[in-house]
Amino acid sequence: MPKGDYLAEFEIYVMLAILRLGDDAYGVSIRREIEERAGRPVSIGAVYATLGRLEEKKLVEFRVSDPQPVQGGRSRKLVSLTKRGLAAVEHSTAMLQRMLQGTPITQEG
Amino acid sequence: MPNPPPFFRWTLALLADRRFREDVLGNILEEFEDQVVAQGEPAARRWYRRQVLRSLGPLLRWRLTHREAGWRRALRALSLSTPGQDGKYAARSLLGAPGFSLTVILTFALGIGVNTAVFSLVHSLVLDPLPFPGGDRMVQLWRYEKLEDGRRSLGPPAAPMVAAWREEEGVFDQVGAYAEEEIHLSIDEGIVSVPGARISSEILSLISATPILGRLFSREDAIPGGGEVLLLTEELWARQFGSDPGVIGRTAWVDGTLHTVVGVIPSATRALLETTFFGAQTKEVLLPLLTDAAGGWTGSPNIVARLQPGLTVEEAQERLDVIQTRVAPLMEGQSEWFPLVVSARDALSWGFRRGLWVVFGAVAIVLLIACANIATLILVRRIARGGEMNVRLALGAGRSRLAGQLVTESLLLGGAGTLLAILTAGWMVHAAVWIAGGSLPVIRSARVDPETLAFATVAGLVTVFAFSLIPILHLRRLTPAGVVSRQSPGGWKPSAGWRAHGSLVVAQVALATVLVLSAGLLSNSLRRLLSVDPGFQTEGLAAVGLNLPRTRYDVGTERIAFFDEVVNGLERAPGVRSAGWARYVPPRVAGAPGTVNVEGRAAAEGEGFEVHAGNWVSPTYFRVVGAPFLSGRPFTEAEISDRAQVVIVNRTGAERLWPDGDGGVGSRIRLDSDFGPSPWMTVVGIVPDFKAWWLGDSPDRMQIYLPASDVPLRSGVILVRSDRDLGEVASLVQSQVRRMDPSLPIGETYWVGNAFRQSVARQRFQALLLSSFGILGLALAILGVYGVMSLSVTHRTREIGVRLALGATRGDVNRQFLARGLKAVGAGLALGLCIAFFAADLLADLLWGIGPTDPPTYVACAAGVLLAGLSASSVSTRRAMNVDPVEALRRE
């Protein structure tokens, strides 16, 4: 992994959410996923600013979905991790895990 | 479904980046709607507001780090700023005066565009080195001998000179040689006549050539019998071999010997070769230039070399002069030969550099006129807007703000003008290449290059800046009180204004006069050239080149028989009035054969009368070209076949050889050429002088004609005088030739008259170019005169009104204005004539048949300029006559 792809905390949250959501990852679902799992309020602006940054680093990519199968359904801009994004998130979480190992706060539930 | 709070929605839309604005708004709306369903509208609205407030931070940070596209932002910022407003205002004000704007922009485009085009041409012809590495160090090596009249006769250097140059260390990097050759190539079936050249292996490395297939020449290829090889050009490879990659190793007959194809050179290399060495003539096959046992080049090839880095042409010349003192004793009969080093670029533009600089000067003058004109236009406009400026000043606009607006306006004008100028330049260079590319090989590489583009831009901007200064300086004189006072619009003082504008008119007219005069002189010179009598009747006379391959026509008598047979067949053909043949036909006579001595008059070695042009002709030649014998008779058939020692000279030749009239027909002369002295030959006829080389050929030169049997005549010209068109003549000759040799192609077919007209192509080009500039300059100057005169009339409307009211007649008023205009035009004319008179020498080299101070041309051009100035003034003063005194006074 090239240097400089270190991820900020919120970036890791967003990327993990994308991973979890799979084919259903887009602004709303990502925001809700983080809010529900991390239990902290997340704004849609923060999600998009982060996605924009991640896209610039070529860690995520967008694609436009077919319109929703309801009347007036909109197309969604779906997000997925790039190969590089996947590598980056693996690297960052692995580092975090290594750092956590043996520290007193490591109380896996 | 309820809507989200509009203010917050709007805030979000404003803040979100264009890239994800739609998505953010869509997503938040989707959730808002979910919230409405789940928790009711008020809670959903609260949620929405909270979301937007929380999004502010991240979105703002994003916007600060990720600006949107630069131009869009710049545009938006600009449209809100002072310069932006100035720009909008300026654009509106310029669009409101389309005549003025268009005139200024067009003046710009013509002045700067033409200037850029010519600068580009000068650049590629004179300043730009040849387009390959070391091209700027490439030189042509010639020899010259001094002639009795002080001129130098140039030619390819002698073998001992070349050998010494090649041995000398530290002067040349590389020395190469080349010679032209008509090559008859037979591939499988039939013969193709292909223009080719012999070159030494160094030539291709000098221009950094690489083959697209196979290899280039090596030194071993040049040893006779060592390797009979040839290089094909890409075009010939495609045409004759269907671009077959297996062509390497195939064989082709070249004049009876089997040659092997060793490589194919790309067409770009071919173009470079043709341009650099062969005067843009097509060369499709390359053979190695053969060397003799000592390694020297055979024949008298042209020599080129690349100087050692750091060595100048002058230094190389000095070195060669030193070498020559060593070599001279080895050169029998050529001891008066001296080496000459010429930069290859100079050699390419030989003879028309002076013309080019004159054209450059002309263009600079047009630019100056254009600038003066723009200045006038801007001033005129400012007067017209003086009232507006006064009002705005009175309403509280700052002077700096007004100045800013004037600058913006000028910048807008200049920008548009410069843009159009660049387009004009590109188009003009294109046109010049198209017009002159054929006769002027170097021009083909001409492009509007980046430096020139920069030149144009700077020229445009400097002009703009300079002219925006003029009205700004006037701004200082404005006072808010001017709007109510009787101050004339713009604080204009009539006397000072007239002085400024009058001097602009004088300058413009003077410059235009210089241009018109130059154009007039060149056109007159061209007119005289075109009216020159070539010495024989060119109308209806067609020439057809014919080359006989050595392999099949090795014996001289066979060749003569062949030409005779073709001519006899042609003379019987319908529509043909007469036919003949010769080695050359004017204006394409190839060489000065040597000097002539008269029997019975002692002459030292190397002395004698220089022959300007020599030709080898058939008995019917003079009948076909339509030149009457002044005395004597043409050659007879018997004299040709018996190789009789007979000769025909022209009138000037006879006069020079026998100034006292004590000789002529029946006398005997001898020709001393490079091949040694000929036997004594009896003069059998005297013919009129022909123009041998071009229409401007100097009249007093000796020409001699030898029987066509006298040379190893492999190539010649069939001459046909007929009523038929050129294509019919060509097919007639072809059918006659085919009757005797089905595989022999005929060469170029052309009207002799056309060839003469083409011989003055350069003069025509120069005259055409300068005439266009002359017309352009004069038109601009007339526009300037008109502008200033109109200004003067507009400005004095009140005064005219008063004078008319006090009883002056309209004729008086008109005369007064006309006199004033004429005074300025006359002063400009006088100044221009003086400049032209003192700069006359610059043109002298380009003129033929008239001097650079030719009085009739001066008178005609002066009259033309005066008339143009007069009509421009009278059109503008007519307005003065139409002033209604009541109306004029009421304006007060």
Of A32, A49, A51, the CB nearest to B61: A49
Of B19, B27, B61, the CB nearest to A27: B27
Of A43, A50, A77, the CB nearest to B54: A43
Considering the domain boundaries, does residue B277 fall inside one?
Answer: no
Say how many domains are in chain B.
4
Cβ pair B56:A45 closer than 8 A: yes
Q: Which residues of B touch A53 (CB under 8 A)?
A: 62
Do B570 and B684 sit in the same domain of this protein? yes
Please tell me the distance in Å from A102's CA to the nearest CA on chain B.
Answer: 35
What count of other Cβ atoms lies within 10 Å of the Cβ of residue B484? 9
CA distances from B778 to B460, B511, B769 (A): 21, 9, 14
Counted across chains A and B, CB pairs separated by less than 8 A come out at 60
Of A32, A52, A74, the CB nearest to B62: A52
Interface test with A, best of B9, B27, B33 (most A CBs within 10 A): B27
Considering the domain boundaries, does residue A35 fall inside one?
Answer: yes
Please tell me the distance in Å from A101's CA to the nearest CA on chain B.
Answer: 33
State residue B592's pLDDT score: 59
- Fill in the DSSP letter of residue B262: E
Do B792 and B685 sit in the same domain of this protein? no
What count of other Cβ atoms lies within 10 Å of the Cβ of residue B18? 9
Interface test with B, best of A14, A48, A75 (most B CBs within 10 A): A48
H or E stretch at B580: strand B576-582
Considering the domain boundaries, does residue B401 fall inside one?
Answer: yes
- Fill in the DSSP letter of residue B628: -
Considering the domain boundaries, does residue A108 fall inside one?
Answer: no
Cβ pair A44:B62 closer than 8 A: no
Of A32, A41, A49, the CB nearest to B62: A49
Considering the domain boundaries, does residue B447 fall inside one?
Answer: yes
Interface test with B, best of A14, A28, A43 (most B CBs within 10 A): A43
Model pLDDT for residues B154-178, shown as the tens digit of each residue:
778 888 888 888 888 888 988 999 8
Cβ pair B55:A26 closer than 8 A: no
Cβ pair A52:B66 closer than 8 A: yes
Cβ pair B58:A49 closer than 8 A: yes
Domain span at residue A67 reads 9-98
Cβ pair B16:A51 closer than 8 A: no
Do B805 and B785 sit in the same domain of this protein? yes
Alpha helix positions (H), B573-692? 621-625, 637-641, 651-657
Considering the domain boundaries, does residue A2 fall inside one?
Answer: no
Q: Which residues of A touch B26 (CB under 8 A)?
A: 74
In chain B, which residues have pLDDT < 50?
A: 486-492, 494-495
3 state SS of B583: coil
- The β-bridge relationship of strands B138-146 and B152-155 is antiparallel
Of B16, B26, B54, the CB nearest to A74: B26
List, as one string, the DSSP characters of B93-116.
HHHTSHHHHHHHHHHHHHHHHHHH
Rounded to an integer, what distance in angstroms lies between the CA atom of residue B607 and that of residue B604? Answer: 5
Model pLDDT for residues B352-366, shown as the tens digit of each residue:
666 777 777 887 788
Cβ pair B59:A45 closer than 8 A: yes
Q: Burial, B260: exposed, middle or buried (Cβ in 10 Å; 0-12, 13-18, 19+)?
A: middle
State residue B284's pLDDT score: 85
Rounded to an integer, what distance in angstroms lies between the CA atom of residue B688 and that of residue B629? Answer: 7
Do B773 and B789 sit in the same domain of this protein? yes
Of B15, B27, B58, the CB nearest to A46: B58
Considering the domain boundaries, does residue B296 fall inside one?
Answer: no
Q: Which residues of A touch B19 (CB under 8 A)?
A: 52
- The β-bridge relationship of strands B138-146 and B302-307 is antiparallel
State residue B719's pLDDT score: 93
Backbone φ and ψ of B264, nearest 5°: -130, 130
Cβ pair B28:A77 closer than 8 A: no
Do B886 and B828 sit in the same domain of this protein? yes
Interface test with B, best of A44, A53, A68 (most B CBs within 10 A): A44
Question: Is the separation of the CB atoms in B478 and B385 below 8 Å?
Answer: no
Q: Which residues of A touch B23 (CB under 8 A)?
A: 27, 48, 77
State residue B388's pLDDT score: 74
Considering the domain boundaries, does residue A63 fall inside one?
Answer: yes
Rounded to an integer, what distance in angstroms lies between the CA atom of residue B792 and that of residue B790? Answer: 5
Question: Is the separation of the CB atoms in B102 and B94 below 8 Å?
Answer: no
Cβ pair B24:A44 closer than 8 A: yes
Cβ pair B59:A53 closer than 8 A: no
Q: Which residues of B touch A48 (CB under 8 A)?
A: 16, 20, 23-24, 58-59
Nearest CA in chain B to A78: B23
Q: Which residues of B touch A49 (CB under 8 A)?
A: 58-59, 61-62
Question: Is the separation of the CB atoms in B579 and B721 below 8 Å?
Answer: yes
Do B768 and B691 sit in the same domain of this protein? no
Do B796 and B714 sit in the same domain of this protein? no
Rounded to an integer, what distance in angstroms lies between the CA atom of residue B789 and that of residue B820? Answer: 9
Considering the domain boundaries, does residue B675 fall inside one?
Answer: yes
List, as one string, the DSSP characters of B740-754.
H-TTPPP--EEEHHH
Considering the domain boundaries, does residue A103 fall inside one?
Answer: no
CA distances from B543 to B538, B626, B732, B733 (A): 10, 14, 12, 10
Nearest CA in chain A to B25: A44
A18: domain CATH number?
1.10.10.10
Cβ pair A27:B56 closer than 8 A: no
Do B595 and B648 sit in the same domain of this protein? yes
Q: Which residues of B touch A28 (CB under 8 A)?
A: 27, 30-31
State residue B863's pLDDT score: 93
Do B650 and B722 sit in the same domain of this protein? yes
Residue type, B590: A
State residue B444's pLDDT score: 63
Q: Burial, B238: exposed, middle or buried (Cβ in 10 Å; 0-12, 13-18, 19+)?
A: middle
Q: Is B35 an 8 Å CB contact of chain A?
A: no
Last residue of a domain, one of B743, B769, B789: B743
Backbone φ and ψ of B279, nearest 5°: 55, 40
Please tell me the distance in Å from A81's CA to the nearest CA on chain B.
Answer: 18
Do B815 and B847 sit in the same domain of this protein? yes
Q: Which residues of B touch A43 (CB under 8 A)?
A: 51, 54-55, 58
Cβ pair B55:A41 closer than 8 A: no
What count of other Cβ atoms lies within 10 Å of the Cβ of residue A94? 10
What pLDDT band is residue A34 in, cutting at 50, 70 and 90? Answer: very high
Cβ pair B55:A44 closer than 8 A: yes
Nearest CA in chain B to A32: B31
Considering the domain boundaries, does residue A1 fall inside one?
Answer: no
Of B20, B31, B56, the CB nearest to A48: B20
Considering the domain boundaries, does residue B282 fall inside one?
Answer: no
Nearest CA in chain A to B19: A52
Considering the domain boundaries, does residue B331 fall inside one?
Answer: no
State residue B262's pLDDT score: 92
Please tell me the distance in Å from A32's CA to the nearest CA on chain B.
Answer: 10
Do B38 and B95 sit in the same domain of this protein? no
H or E stretch at B179: strand B172-186
Q: Which residues of A touch B14 (CB under 8 A)?
A: none
ipTM for the whole complex: 0.88
Last residue of a domain, one of B696, B714, B743: B743
Interface of B with A in 37-76 (CB under 8 A): 51-52, 54-59, 61-62, 66
Of B30, B31, B55, the CB nearest to A45: B55
Cβ pair A48:B24 closer than 8 A: yes
Considering the domain boundaries, does residue B184 fall inside one?
Answer: no
Rounded to an integer, what distance in angstroms lies between the CA atom of residue B525 and that of residue A21? Answer: 89
Please tell me the distance in Å from A83's CA to the nearest CA on chain B.
Answer: 23
Nearest CA in chain A to B23: A77
pTM over the 0.95 mark? no
Domain span at residue B527 reads 493-533+760-892
Do B459 and B578 sit in the same domain of this protein? no
Rounded to an integer, what distance in angstroms lies between the CA atom of residue B182 and that of residue B858? Answer: 49
Cβ pair B59:A74 closer than 8 A: no
